[in-house]
Amino acid sequence: MTEKNFEQIYNDYRNKHETISNEEAPNDTEKIVAVRKNHSGDIIAFKTNSGRELDYITALEEAKAGHLAHIDVFHKYGRDIIRSEPDGIKENNLDNLPLF
């Protein structure tokens, strides 16, 4: 039986992902540049670099379709959640973006 090198497999995966996320987003994708929060501090809407204002559901749909750059959708707490790609840069986290 061949022994797997789990660390090498993980590092290859991570390096491939970092290369993809460091590439420029395609021209047809928009970037989130500002957010709107409710009184509890939850993000409820997004503003893109083209000036469009998206409610949470529309942003989820657009992110799933690949129309929003550097945004991930994941399932947690029984629902889909939007978050910025984990790149280690706090300034571009959705919670840290300017309010509109």
Put simply, whether the predicted model's pTM sits higher than 0.85 gets the answer no
Counting Cβ atoms within 10 Å, is residue 83 exposed (0-12), middle (13-18) or buried (19+)? middle
Burial call 61-79: b when 16+ CB within 10 Å, e when fewer: ebbeeebbbebeeeeeeee
Give per-residue pLDDT as tens, 61-72: 999 999 999 999
For 36-91, write each residue's pLDDT tens digit: 999 999 999 999 999 999 999 999 999 999 999 999 999 998 999 999 998 888 88
